[in-house]
Amino acid sequence: MARRPLVVGNWKMNGTAREAAHLARALVDGHPDGAADVAVCPPFPYLAAVAGIVAGTPVALGAQDVSPQASGAHTGEVSAGMLHDVGCRWVIVGHSERRTRLGETDEAVRAKFERARESGLAPIACVGETLEEREAGEAEQVVGRQVDALLADGGAEAVGESVIAYEPVWAIGTGRNAAPEDAQAMHRAVRDRVASRRAAAAESVRILYGGSVNEKNAAELFSMPDIDGGLVGGASLDPDRFIAICRAAGG
- Positions touching ligand PEP (CB under 6 A) are 10, 167, 172-173, 210-213, 231-235
Q: Indicate the residue among 121 and 172 with the shorter CB distance to ligand PEP.
A: 172
Query: Which residues are catalytically annotated?
Result: 95, 167
Q: Indicate the residue among 156 and 232 with the shorter CB distance to ligand PEP.
A: 232
- How distant is the alpha carbon of residue 28 from its chain centre? 20
Q: Indicate the residue among 160 and 234 with the shorter CB distance to ligand PEP.
A: 234
Comparing C-alpha atoms, which of 196, 195, 193, 198 is closest to residue 166?
193
- What DSSP line would sit under 124-163, residue for residue? EEEE---HHHHHTT-HHHHHHHHHHHHHTTTTHHHHHTSE
Dist CA 243 CA 202 (whole Å): 28
- What DSSP line would sit under 196-227, residue for residue? TT-HHHHHH-EEEEESS--TTTHHHHHTSTT-
Q: Indicate the residue among 46 and 170 with the shorter CB distance to ligand PEP.
A: 170
Residue nearest to ligand PEP (CB): 233
Number of DSSP helices (H) and strands (E) in the chain, helices first? 12, 8
